[in-house]
Amino acid sequence: MAGARKPRLAVHKFASCDGCQLTLLDCEDQLLDVVGEIEIAYFLEATRQEIRGPYDVSLVEGSITTAHDIERVRRVRAQSKMLIAIGSCATAGGVQALRNTADIDALARAVYPNPEYFQTLTTSTAIQDHVKVDFELRGCPISREQLIEVVSAYLTRRKPNIPNYSQCMECKQAGTVCVMVAHGTPCLGPVTQAGCGNVCPSCERGCYGCFGPKEKANAKSLARWFEGSLGLSGRQTHDLYRTFNAGAPAFCEVGLAAIGEKTDETVAEVTR
């Protein structure tokens, strides 16, 4: 590709902790290969240099929580040939999506001395609730290997190898002993998408569901098992399901049901 212009990459941030975009800087050995193949045109976490759009690829981190966010994400979309949403915030609204089922005014009063200066939407939602997203990379934070895989796939014009099966598939292939079956530790692995690299179960912890619901996740059946066989209370089941992917429909609905609350229409709407 001698003489060909390198693809331009931009990294945009919405409501988020920056952990996912830092994954790009965390690529260590492969970072030089990354910048060898693509031009980092806009990435405020890494450099003050700003190259104006359009961009070939935009990585979008964070959720949409303000009216301003909505306008900005539309501009990002307009400037990007390919838009990849990265992380739980961008793909499911993040932990801040807990607000979707809470009283936002009460929250604002509890946090801010002068809530009248504070303007926000009542919901925290995923990027694809507002604009077309070409690919979603799950995780809280995303996996470095998966990020490199998506970039490599883009550069060679192939489909990324990002499985949407359960965390259990990853555990078993790594030889990790099941923490739920062998220890009785509640674990979201069977309903959570693989990709983290088996982090928690390999340290004898249950999966926290950072990568969000797997395809066709049967969160209801697992919740029944938590309560019927592992002795969890409805509140404990709710708390397990409602963390980093609190707004993901499969988790949100079952989490709320566990504490006797129904998903109301607003929530159903914002959680797709």
Partner 1 sequence: MSAETGALVGDSAVLEATALPALIQALRDEGYEVIGPTARDGAIVFSEYGPADSLPVGYEDSQEGGRYRLIKTAGRRVFDYVVGPKSLKEWFWPPRQPLWTARRGGRGSYTIDPPDPKVAPRRAFVGVRACDLAAMAVNDRTFDNGDFADPAYLKRRDNAIFISVDCARPAATCFCASMNTGPRSSSGFDLALTELEDADTHVFLVRIGTEAGAKVVARVPHRLSVESDLERARAVVTQAVARMERSMVPGIDALLKRNFTHPRWTTVAERCLSCGNCTMVCPTCFCSDVKDHTSLTGDVTTRVRSWDSCFTLDHSYVHGGALRQSRMSRYRQWMTHKLSSWWDQFGVSGCTGCGRCITWCPVGIDITEEARAIAEGDLTQAAE
Residues of this chain that interact with partner 1 (CB under 8 A) are: 30, 33-34, 36-37, 148-149, 151-153, 155-156, 158, 161, 163-166, 168-169, 172-178, 180-184, 187, 189-191, 204, 214-218, 221-222, 224-225, 229
Nearer to partner 1 (CB atom), residue 95 or residue 151: 151
Q: How far is the CB of 164 from partner 1 (least distance, A)?
A: 6
CA distances from 120 to 38, 66, 151, 194, 215 (A): 36, 5, 33, 33, 31
Nearer to partner 1 (CB atom), residue 110 or residue 203: 203
Task: Identify which of 123, 202, 215 has the alpha carbon closest to the alpha carbon of residue 166.
Answer: 215
Nearer to partner 1 (CB atom), residue 100 or residue 166: 166
Q: How far is the CB of 247 from partner 1 (least distance, A)?
A: 21
Burial of 149 (C-beta count, 10 Å sphere; 0-12/13-18/19+)? middle
Helix 219-228 and helix 234-241: axis angle, to 10°? 140
Q: What is the DSSP letter of 193?
A: B
Q: How far is the CB of 192 from partner 1 (least distance, A)?
A: 9
Q: How far is the CB of 172 from partner 1 (least distance, A)?
A: 3
Q: Can you say how many angstroms the Cα of residue 254 is from the centroid of all Cα atoms in its chain?
A: 19
Q: How far is the CB of 84 from partner 1 (least distance, A)?
A: 16
Nearer to partner 1 (CB atom), residue 69 or residue 170: 170
